[in-house]
A and B are shown apart, each in its own frame.
Chain A
Amino acid sequence: MDSPIFRLNADRTRLVDTVVQRILATKTRSAADVEFWLNDTAFWEIARLEADGSASSQLRDWLDLYRTLGRKQDTEKAALLRSVVTGYARDIVGNFNPQVYRLASRLIPKGLSLLYRRQALQVAGGLDHRITIQGHIDTLRKLCEQGTVILMPTHSSNLDSILVGYALDRLGLPPFTYGAGKNLFGNRFIGYFMHNLGAYKVDRRLRHDLYKDTLKAYSTLLLESGYHSLFFPGGTRSRSGSVEKKLKLGLAGTGVTAYVNNLIAGSAKPNLYVFPVTINYPLVLEGASQIDDYLKAVGRSRYIIEDDEFSRLAVIWKYFQAVLNFEGKVFLQVGAPLDIFGNPVDDEGRSLDPRGRLVDPRSYVRVRGVPTHDRRRDEEYARELGVSVLDGFARNNVVLCTNLVAFVMFRWLVATHPNLDVYHLIRLPGDTAILRGELTRLVERVRDQLLKLHHQGRLLLSPTVQTADVTEILNTAFEYFRAYHTRHLVALVGEAVHLQDVKLLFYYHNRLSGYGLENLFPADRSHTVKGT
């Protein structure tokens, strides 16, 4: 298991120097350029720091620079810009501590196993039974040897990166590097591990081009240098609970640039391989606050939520007890690999066209036979890669009992209240109930359709959803629904199933949106059962 990440510390100086050199090469073609970038950066930094309201020394430095810029010599300006970019690059660059890695790879599974109380001592490798890693695992292992791998998982929880880290370790693969929000490093426990396991820092408060370009240059350089990388292409956790339908390919879009650089440099292993991955939780740690956020439609502006479930260890503890104590599982599904242009790739790492014929990936970036950068073209390639990744997400979405039952309950609610939108539905009184018999019938109907979709390769089903009888599916879902979230999603009273938290039912339901299953629920006013 050789990987440059084990040598990250020795490589840090080179990484920072190369990034600085590349950024300066594009931004200092003339003295006017240098002044422009200093001005622009100072403007945004000042705006941000002033909005923060803290009269920091940082703010004073920027204000000072802004005021005196006009009087400075060209050489002084160039040195200033160099120091600003170097500062950004040093802040971004990750660290890797092999000791912490060895500790973590022993500690994390153990820690997770401990949480899995009842059988932790009896069942060896208990966690392995609870977290299923499946799909194109052998190809993943193989292509890690043949080129640089980019994992692109769906993103619904901050636990995702820990889970992926655990999965890679279990598969015998080296850790992958990834960009994590700087705010997460603030959590002392989690931050310690992230900092020492190759994660690099993304400061989401910095939105100006000089910083973003530095970040992109760093990410590009890591890919070129053979660092397997993890990108959450949704950009942020999916607030709605659905599998990503739209991607923000910011950093993930650096793949084509890295590939062209590899070809120009004559690299021995120039290829990059992208694996869409879905992470499927029966319950999502931050589900409640995520869906709140989504419904308030502030997901966009409230980028950084410091105080959600992830920041409270007690909640994480409760979550694991709930998720790991039942028969259900977390599924990490590795989808079929793609090349950096979104073409499927065979087991040997060779690119295929949509009809399965071999195609030379170099042909996409060659102009008159020479590998060439072209920003606009490469943005289009990144967009096309995004389309393929989204398709991979949809096809590798593993439907769990909680998704199926929440979907049915929410669609039933919509069908029985045809004039209400979601904002009204979530305010329905808690005594809205569906009879068990009706629920069973509807789950049966949706399951039949899911089996068809599964057969067509359009999604995947957990073993329970695929083969268990509906009563078992319902009972499993009900157990989950009453296990973790502060407010139980359902209450069972005799034959009636009360829908107590429509917001969370909506959240878990969204995982099944986009497959046309809604059509199975024609509007109908005759089935509401009020109170019992």
Chain B
Amino acid sequence: MAQPNDDFGPVGVLGGGSWGTSLAQLAATNGFRVIQWMRDAKRADEQNRCHENRTYLPDIPLSPAIEAITDLQRVGQECRLILVVVPSQSLRSVLYELGAHLDGGHLLVHGVKGLETGTFKRMSEILREETPCRQLGVLSGPNLAREVAMGQPSASVVASRYEAVIEATRVALTGPTFRVYGNADLVGVEIGGALKNILAIASGVVYGLGFGDNTKALLLTRGIAEIARLGSHLGANASTFSGLSGIGDLVATCFSPLSRNFQVGQKLAQGQSLTTIAHSMHQVAEGVKTTLSVYEYAQRQSIDMPITEAVYRMLYEQAKPAEVLKDLMSITRFPYEHS
């Protein structure tokens, strides 16, 4: 493996949230210098002073090799590999700004699980539209930020059509507690990552309603079947959904009360409305918007996605979880497992 920083200078990280900070920490632990861009100057100062992200990743000491900055230009000028970890709905504007400082040599990898509301575009499509870059990729997998930052053994997938992207990401992030696998199926990995947030909400509902492991396993397996159905329609490779970024991510999500989407589901089960839930959480749960995008797209394209439809009804039509579940259990459309 190449020595840290010889090849591409410092690793750039865009975004000061929990996952961005965890990735910065992974690269820094591997000996890379890291430049982490965030919009909020006060938070950047605080992180540089205390070596801790007190807002999003409290109580985890960060490497001094991470430098928090607010100047996007520096990211473009100094870094070849840039990990983009900003919320899906602000991705476009941040990338447009960054795009002015990029060229064809940059490697852009995003770790954003979501789809653009309204356009149904994948995040890599936004990367492509807002920057001159071609060498694009996605990092996705069962990665709860906090567990990764604490050094618990975990793994992720980096998908790209370009080997340089896969190679650079693997070099930057692979370490004693973190494995990175490559995959050429960019679409499949992005779809798996975006759509599992819908199932994370559903899984929170199941948990909130007090059901056990049978129900969860049912949700998870039929959930991945539904995701693969949409994925194949978009040209993804069906086997991608049985990997870390597909079923792997689903398992982590469905079993973890740490996920924000899961918490949304729990609150739905308690009878809270979407408005109330949104007010009570200071970080966006991507799955809420993803559900809307996917539901509308599936309707337009006539793709049968019963679980997505159920979550949509709870979020946007105030349907009662118990009723939605009853409807799901009485579906007769899929008499065979693989159809």
Contact = CB atoms under 8 A, between A and B. Distances in A.
B103 interface: yes
A368 interface: yes
A520 B273 CA distance: 40
A363 B130 contact: no
B217 to A, nearest CB: 39
B96 A355 contact: yes
Nearest to B135: A377
B131 interface: yes
B134 A341 contact: yes
Interface in A307-347: 341, 343
B126 to A, nearest CB: 11
Nearest to B133: A353
Given A363-B105, A364-B105, A377 B132 contact: no
Contact of A353 (B132, B162, B163): B132
A14 to B, nearest CB: 32
B128 interface: yes
Contact of A360 (B7, B96, B100, B103): B103
A357 B99 contact: yes
Contacts of B129: 354-355
B104 interface: yes
Given A377-B162, A384-B134, A363 B104 contact: yes
A354 B103 contact: no
Interface in B136-167: 161-164
A366 interface: yes
Given A341-B104, A363-B104, A366-B105, A381 B130 contact: no
Nearest to B105: A363
Contact of A357 (B128, B132, B161, B164): B132
Given A363-B104, A368-B7, A353 B131 contact: yes
A376 interface: yes
A120 B89 CA distance: 63
B103 A377 contact: no
Contacts of B100: 357
B128 A359 contact: no
A98 interface: no
A39 B103 CA distance: 45
Contact of B134 (A357, A360, A374, A381): A381
A341 B103 CA distance: 12
Contacts of B134: 341, 364, 380-381, 384
Contacts of B132: 343, 353-354, 357, 359, 363
Interface in A344-380: 353-355, 357, 359-368, 374, 376-377, 380
Nearest to B100: A357
B163 A377 contact: yes
B105 A355 contact: no
Given A355-B96, A359-B132, A380 B104 contact: no
B146 to A, nearest CB: 36
Contacts of A357: 99-100, 132
Interface in A465-516: none
A377 B137 CA distance: 13
A363 B99 contact: no
Contact of B130 (A341, A354, A364): A354
Contacts of B162: 376-377, 380
A370 to B, nearest CB: 11
| Residue of A341, A357, A365 most packed against chain B (CB within 10 A) | A357
Nearest to B128: A354
Nearest to B96: A355
A343 to B, nearest CB: 7
Contacts of A380: 134, 161-162
Which of B128, B130, B161 has most chain A Cβ within 10 Å? B161
A226 to B, nearest CB: 23
- Residue of B7, B128, B134 most packed against chain A (CB within 10 A): B134
A139 B111 CA distance: 41
Most buried by B among A353, A365, A368: A353
A373 to B, nearest CB: 13
Contact of A377 (B96, B131, B164): B164
Interface in B256-291: none
Contacts of B131: 353-354
B103 A359 contact: yes
Given A341-B134, A355-B130, A364 B96 contact: no
A362 B7 CA distance: 18
A353 B7 contact: no
A456 to B, nearest CB: 16
A360 B7 CA distance: 20
A199 B132 CA distance: 35
A362 B132 CA distance: 12
B82 to A, nearest CB: 14
A365 B104 CA distance: 8
A335 to B, nearest CB: 20
Contacts of A384: 134
Nearest to A342: B134
Contacts of A377: 135, 162-164
Given A377-B163, A381-B134, A364 B128 contact: no
Nearest to A353: B132
Nearest to B6: A368
Contacts of B104: 341, 359-365
A357 B100 CA distance: 7
A213 B241 CA distance: 37
A359 B135 CA distance: 15
A366 B135 CA distance: 12
B163 A363 contact: no
Interface string A135-152: 000000000000000000
Interface in B151-202: 161-164
Interface string B207-227: 000000000000000000000
A376 B163 contact: yes
A368 B164 CA distance: 12
A380 B137 CA distance: 13
Contacts of B135: 377
Nearest to A383: B161
6 contacts: A364-B103, A365-B104, A368-B7, A374-B163, A376-B162, A377-B162
Interface of A: 341, 343, 353-355, 357, 359-368, 374, 376-377, 380-381, 383-384
Interface of B: 7, 96, 99-100, 103-105, 128-132, 134-135, 161-164
Instruction: Give the top 10 A-B pairs by smallest Cβ distance, nearest first.
Output: A364-B104, A353-B132, A363-B103, A363-B104, A359-B132, A363-B105, A380-B161, A354-B129, A359-B103, A360-B103
Given A362-B104, A376-B162, 8 more contacts: A341-B104, A354-B132, A361-B104, A366-B105, A367-B105, A374-B164, A377-B163, A381-B134
